[in-house]
Structure 1
Amino acid sequence: MKLGFLTACLPGLPLDEIADWAVAEGYQALEVAVWPSAGGRDFEASHLPVADFTDADEQRTRELLERTGLTISSLAYYENNLHPDPATRESIRTHLKHAIDTAARLGVDSVGTFIGRDPRLSVLQNLREGEKVLPELVEHAGERGVKIVIENCVMEGWHPDGYPGNLAYSPELWEWMFDLGFYLNWDPSHLMWIGIDPLETIEPYLDRIIHTQAKDVELFPAKRNRYGHFGIVDKGGDPWATGWWRYRVPGLGQVDWRRVIDRFHDLGYTGTVSVEHEDPVWGGTPEKVQQGLRIAHRTLSPLIEPQ
């Protein structure tokens, strides 16, 4: 196991600066954000120009990894691959293929994204649509020796009524996407607020968990009595408004990381545990984000690399 973090939390810093900081703080891997430079939403960044990745870009990236000793655990482009607008969907698919091609050039074995959802359709209608259009992405990746990993984020902010906007939130749906050839970027924080015990989902699906995102969650059950299980309805234009939970860096929420990492050790997991920093307390400036990453490192590193 290696400990890394997703670079999207530091969108304003170049990759070489992030890498130097990561090494100094004891991290071993980077999950590199590769959204288009035209992005700009929260928790998105463009740290490699995958849409026009040149030989010079490849050489610079390889030299950076050699100099720092870091590995790239995955390339991250988390978008809605079932977007209801055809032009937007095609743009997302095209950029995802660029990310896959770049991963293959760099010897990175996975690219992360979402299944997504067309909110105009029922879940079952989305599954049938996914069965038509998603296998071509899996084939594109497989031909290049790359696996597509899907994060089990609910993405309720993508749905106008706050229902799941990414159809990979439960083991039932994982099994559906595994049949299509996808793998899992396992994140316990999302499982906890929808009522699924993260520990119980590791062993049955270990052969499909090839990457892990370490994000914690802080729950406020008293507020659930007002909003219900799916959270606040009137988000006031803020898709991150949840109502009774908020995401934290590992160690500041209610995920039992000691038991999670012990279960991984026990079962022989050898992938990367990658901190996904979406903590509102330790956010807002690069300095605060970096302090949040230090807290996560102090929490996880003794468990991943026992002293």
Structure 2
Amino acid sequence: MKLGVFSVLFAQKTFEESLDYIASKGLEAIEIGTGNYPGNAHCNLDELLADEGKRKAFKQVVESRGLTISALSAHGNPLHPQKAISQEHDSVIRKTIELANRLEVPVVNTFSGCPGDHEDAKYPNWPIAPWPNDYQEILKWQWEAKLIPYWSELNTVATEAGVKIGLELHGGFSVHTPATLLRLREATGPAIGANLDPSHMWWQGIDPVQAVHILGRENAIHHFHAKDTTIDPINVNRHGVTDMQSYSLMLDRAWQFRSVGYGHDLKVWADIISALRLVGYDYVVSIEHEDGLMSVEEGFTKAVENLQQVLIKEPLGQMWWV
């Protein structure tokens, strides 16, 4: 496995400055935002698609630091009921797939999206209860009319480009659990897989180790984010896990994102890394920093230090003791 980072946390630096800083920490990979929610501070899609020379220079500036690009990330809602939003997000995702093909980057990360509850809806509707039965009707319409048709087409687009799509299992979007990811994958195709982030599993009550097993047995983990979560035992009883308070209200929230090792200890993270190795995932573990108690530099540095203790890097080799 290789240790990497989702570089959007260094958007305030130039691309070269961020690469130098990342390499100085001993990392081997970088995940780059191309637009939509992550922004495109370090990657101008249209410019790179139009100019082969600039693409070569872009790739060379990464490789000259001893780094590889693990994924291009365009997290968005391509199924948003407002067409101006969905069309823009869809366009960025398609361009990102094309650029990944030309840069020989194997994975594009994004969200599944979440539609509204009918064709003329204005906002996404995320059903999370089976009753009243209205929610079941909404869910059925969303999957049959929106999710499966859209991602069937994107599966074909990605397959033809030689690229895999990593959908981040994230609350607020139609694919947010191992089951919903596998449901979509079965209905669309194997180019669709997970960008698995344990932080979103923990707050939903899902054990990330078991999520790795469930998805890994189906070869459905295309990329992996390293971010932690802590659950406040008092606040969760007041607000539940679907806490709608701002992330900035950390003292009062039921749960919050933390840097690796500050929500769960390193034995838990060692179990996650071991599970990834067990199911055959031997790609990049990409740090994502969204810790409201730490600066970007401190949170990133502590995540690097903690993960370096548990990451399994060397090939297994022969079991000499068998």
The TM-score range, normalised by the shorter chain, is 0.7 to 0.9
Code of the residue aligned with 1:183 in structure 2: it is G
Residue by residue over 1:37-71, the C-alpha shift from the partner in whole angstroms, topping out at 9 and shown as x without a partner, is xxxx6x54431111331223212112212311100
After superposing on structure 2, the runs of 4+ consecutive aligned residues of structure 1 that deviate more than 4 Å are 238-242
Code of the residue aligned with 1:296 in structure 2: it is A
| Match of residue 176, structure 2, among 166, 169, 173 | 169
SS at match of 1:178: helix
Equivalent residue, structure 1, for 2:47: 52
> Are 1:9 and 2:26 an aligned pair?
no
Q: Unaligned stretches of 5+ in structure 1?
A: 155-164, 283-287
Equivalent residue, structure 1, for 2:271: 259
TM-score (norm 2): 0.83
SS at match of 2:165: strand
Q: What RMSD, in angstroms, separates the aligned Cα atoms of the two structures?
A: 1.9
Q: Alpha-carbon deviation of 1:134?
A: 2.2
| Match of residue 213, structure 2, among 184, 203, 207 | 203
**Distance of 1:98 and 1:45 partners within structure 2:** 13
**Distance of 2:39 and 2:232 partners within structure 1:** 27
| Match of residue 70, structure 1, among 67, 71, 75 | 67
8 Å Cα contact 1:114-1:150 kept in structure 2: yes
Q: Alpha-carbon deviation of 1:144?
A: 0.8
SS at match of 1:143: helix
8 Å Cα contact 1:153-1:169 kept in structure 2: yes
TM-score (norm 1): 0.86
8 Å Cα contact 2:29-2:284 kept in structure 1: yes
**Distance of 2:18 and 2:83 partners within structure 1:** 35
Q: Alpha-carbon deviation of 1:244?
A: 0.6
Equivalent residue, structure 2, for 1:117: 114
SS at match of 1:293: helix
Q: How many equivalent pairs are there?
A: 283
SS at match of 1:292: helix
SS at match of 2:262: coil
CA spacing shift, 1:8–1:185, aligned 2, 3 Å: same
**Distance of 1:172 and 1:191 partners within structure 2:** 12
**Distance of 2:7 and 2:139 partners within structure 1:** 31
Q: Answer with 1 or 2: which has the greater Rg.
A: 2
Q: Unaligned stretches of 5+ in structure 2?
A: 118-124, 126-137, 315-322
CA spacing shift, 1:67–1:229, aligned 2, 3 Å: closer
**Distance of 2:83 and 2:313 partners within structure 1:** 49
Q: 1:1-307 to 2 correspondence within 5 Å? A: 1-35=1-35, 44-53=39-48, 54-120=51-117, 121=125, 122-128=138-144, 129-154=146-171, 165-179=172-186, 180-181=188-189, 182-206=192-216, 207-232=219-244, 235=245, 238=246, 243-254=253-264, 256-282=268-294, 288-305=295-312
Q: Alpha-carbon deviation of 1:148?
A: 0.9
Code of the residue aligned with 2:241 in structure 1: it is H
**Distance of 2:78 and 2:67 partners within structure 1:** 30
**Distance of 2:177 and 2:312 partners within structure 1:** 30
Q: Alpha-carbon deviation of 1:224?
A: 1.2
CA spacing shift, 1:119–1:304, aligned 2, 3 Å: same
8 Å Cα contact 1:51-1:99 kept in structure 2: no
